[in-house]
Structure formats: structure tokens, C-alpha cells
Amino acid sequence: MLVFDYECWNCGHFFEEFVKTLEDKVPCESCGASPAHRMPSAPILRYLEMGVDPTMTTSAVKWADMREQKIRMENSKIGED
């Protein structure tokens, strides 16, 4: 499960909510308006920049990090020529 910050554009309430997938529609816990607006967070933005689905398992995320490091190393070697 993931934890996201939400803001309700109807009443302005800010809250955190656990969700199973990025597609979950979360109603406001204060006024019930749906869906509340998911606020971006630093870890999620990093995953999305890498092209990684944040709902993946930890091992898959580690693999994606290793792949990104390998690509950086290869790109730095190309720049040395």
C-alpha cells in the first residue's frame, strides 16, 4: 500500500490516505467530495522520473535503481572518448 497526501478542492481539507493503486479515487474525509486531488511527493516524483511504477515491489525498485546507475556509467564512459 502507498500513502499519499490529498487536498480537497471542494472544502480545502488536507489529509493522508493509504491506497492500493494509483488509480484509486479517494473521497475527502471531511466533506465526502470525490475525488480529492492527490498531491505530488518527492519519492513518487523520483520513481516517475525513472519510469518506475511506485506500486512495484522493493526488489523491482532496487533493480530499476541498479539499471539507472548502469546507464549513467555507460553514458559517462561515452563522454570520456
Domain extents in the chain: 1-39, 40-81
Mean pLDDT of 29-46: 80
pTM exceeds 0.75 for this model: no
Task: Give the model confidence (pLDDT) of 55-72 as tens digits.
Answer: 665 666 677 777 788 888
The pairs formed by 9-18 with CB atoms below 8 angstroms and a separation of 24 or more are 9/33, 9/36, 9/37, 14/39
Question: Are 33 and 8 spatial neighbours (Cβ–Cβ below 8 Å)?
Answer: yes
